[in-house]
Amino acid sequence: MANTNWAGNIEYFPTDFHQPSSTEEVQDLVSRATSVKVIGTRHSFNHIGSPTEVFISSRNLSRVVSIDRIEGSVWVQAGITYGELSLVLDSEGLALKNMASLPHISVGGAIATATHGSGFQNQCLSSQALALKFVLADGSLLEVDKHADPELFQACVVHLGAIGALVEVKLALVPRFEIAQSVFLNVKFESAVNQLMEILSLGYSVSLFTQWKGDCLDQIWVKRLPSEPSPDRFLNGIGASKAQQKVHPILDVDPVNCTDQLDIPGPSFDRLPHFKFDFTPSHGEELQSEYLIPQPYAQDALRALHAHQSAFDKHLLISEIRTIAADSALMSPFCAVDAMGIHFTWKKDWHSVKAILPLVESVLSQYQPKPHWGKLWAMKPKQVAQSYPGLSEFKKTIQKYDPNKKFQNPFLKELFED
Ligand SMILES: Cc1cc2nc3c(=O)[nH]c(=O)nc-3n(C[C@H](O)[C@H](O)[C@H](O)COP(=O)(O)OP(=O)(O)OC[C@H]3O[C@@H](n4cnc5c(N)ncnc54)[C@H](O)[C@@H]3O)c2cc1C
């Protein structure tokens, strides 16, 4: 097994590694362990998934269990990736409502950290869950249904790996649909910020990419339903030019691995992520941070970062700006908040990134930033945890199902300490 996360910035030192392929095996492993951590596709950048003793990979828990066409739902094992699942769904004429930038991440890991894509109407991926099946610390099974037990469900859907081993998830489906993706280049930063909400609502899912250099916002990616109007006129009107060939978010990188652009419609699973599923990034030469802020602060926050960009642009590969609709999960950064995500893909130099994060956070501090659970930040863990009004309810849920903190590692203990 790989003993690092995907980015290679976190080393895992398990004493006891397992890759079970059935719920029963997970039950047996968990019940016998005193400390256990389950890991998905290892795409988190911090120690949230680091083990202290028994380390369980969900990689062999990757089956589609059953599809219910009447309800519009699918039960999957939690280790399946969105790419693997989407291929099955597409062949059945079905799809997920939204996806993240990369289809290579596991459903269980994405739900744990409130992973998201973009779109004013699109909630984070945890919100696609309709029911959850956990193996609890004593080895018993807990099934929680969103409609039958809404309070408990919202307390444990964004679970941070702290409730139990998630073995199966029921996800909501929609009929298969198509998306056409086009990219627009080089709009003036101030024009983009002045028209920010209009731009971000130009399609089903919109992302802005910038390297925070000069007065330019580099790219606007519009992913629209074929029935949605073309964004060309509006974007040309504010000075953006439509890319005539495929581009990568970082302009001088070969776009071969990006999903098709140039306004050519294709299945949603092959357009909503920025990167193709059949390209397999085995590791990454990057680090990531992201701050989720309430949408009313969006323009001010971007202007504030722009004023300080020369302090951090040299450490940056690319930055992405997206919108995420509010949800109800206690530990979701989008709980009751329509948010905008400001994401930073940093060069892989933790020493420099660690030094620059406090500045980025101080610039954003007046805009109620919440860091992405799976990425890197400098804020005090306790400060992050306490920014969640649902924290004490979440802690009560953990106490009920994992009283001996079997699923907690130092990262989570620091987060939850009183
Ligand atoms: C290249 C890249 C692109 C990304 N793009 C996006 C994006 O577009 N949007 C976004 O929001 N984030 C994005 N991320 C972040 C990523 O989605 C999250 O870190 C997510 O948690 C990764 O899923 P994973 O399966 O790799 O989780 P892991 O890193 O394996 O685990 C994350 C956490 O979940 C827990 N966990 C995982 N599976 C289980 C389980 N079955 N039972 C119990 N606990 C479990 C782990 O213990 C850990 O605490 C990206 C990351 C990378 C590297």
Q: What is the pLDDT of residue 2?
A: 66
49 lines ligand 1 (CB under 6 A): yes
Whether residue 6 lies inside any domain: the answer is no
| pLDDT value, residue 375 | 98
Strands 54-57 and 36-39: parallel
d(CA 241, ligand 1 centre) in Å: 34
DSSP 22-63: SHHHHHHHHHH-SSEEEESS---SSGGG--SSEEEE-TT---
pLDDT of residue 281: 61
Residue minimizing CA distance to atom 35 of ligand 1: 161
Give me ligand 1 centre to Cα 282, in Å.
15
Q: Is any ligand 1 atom within 6 A of the Cβ of residue 8?
A: no
- C-alpha span between 338 and 223 (Å, rounded): 20
Question: How many domains, the chain?
Answer: 1
Cα(205) to ligand 1 centroid in Å equals: 21
The enclosing domain of 271 has a CATH number of 3.30.70.2520
Give the range of the structural domain holding residue 361, as residue numbers without chain letter.
178-371
Q: What is the pLDDT of residue 153?
A: 98
The verdict on the CB of residue 122 being under 6 Å from ligand 1 is no
Pick from 324, 264, 281, 273: nearest CA to 83: 273
Ligand 1 pocket, residue 113 CB under 6 Å: yes
Q: Is 158 in the pocket of ligand 1 (CB under 6 A)?
A: no
Measured distance CA(177)–CA(148) in Å, rounded: 29
Tell me if 339 sits within 8 A of 294, measured CB to CB: yes
Q: In testing the pocket of ligand 1, which one of 47, 56, 77, 115 has its CB within 8 Å of the most ligand atoms?
A: 115
Q: Is residue 140 part of a domain?
A: no
Give the other-Cβ count within 10 Å of 12's Cβ. 18
Ligand 1 proximity of 318 Cβ (cutoff 6 Å):
no
In a domain, 84, yes or no: no
* Ligand 1: residue whose CA is nearest its atom 48: 49
> Ligand 1 pocket: which of 11, 27, 36, 106 to mutate (most atoms <8 Å of CB)?
106
Between the CA of 46 and the centroid of ligand 1 the distance, in Å, is 10
In a domain, 74, yes or no: no
Residue 127, domain member (yes or no): no
**Would you give the distance in Å from CA 190 to the centre of its chain?**
28
| Residue 240 lies inside a defined structural domain of this protein | yes
Helix/strand/coil for 242: strand
pLDDT at residue 279 in the model: 80
The verdict on the CB of residue 110 being under 6 Å from ligand 1 is yes
Nearest CA to ligand 1 atom 52: 43
| SS3 state at 281 | coil
Q: Which two tokens stand for residue 380?
A: 């005090």
228 Cα to the center of ligand 1, angstroms: 31
What is the pLDDT at residue 234? 97
> Separation of 252 CA from ligand 1 center, angstroms?
27
CB 105 less than 6 A from any atom of ligand 1: yes
Q: Specify if 199 maps to a domain.
A: yes
> Domain for residue 159, yes or no?
no
Residue whose CA is at the smallest distance from ligand 1 atom 19: 44
Ligand 1 proximity of 136 Cβ (cutoff 6 Å): no
pLDDT tens series, the chain, 418 aa: 568 999 999 999 767 999 999 999 999 999 999 999 999 999 999 999 999 899 999 999 999 999 999 999 999 999 999 999 999 999 999 999 999 999 999 999 999 999 999 999 999 999 999 999 999 999 999 999 999 999 999 999 999 999 999 999 999 999 999 999 999 999 999 999 999 999 999 999 999 999 999 999 999 999 999 999 999 999 999 999 999 999 999 988 999 999 999 999 999 999 999 999 988 665 578 999 999 999 999 999 999 999 999 999 999 999 999 999 999 999 999 999 999 999 999 999 999 999 999 999 999 999 999 999 999 999 999 999 999 999 999 999 999 999 999 999 999 999 998 8
364 in Cβ contact with 291 (< 8 Å): yes
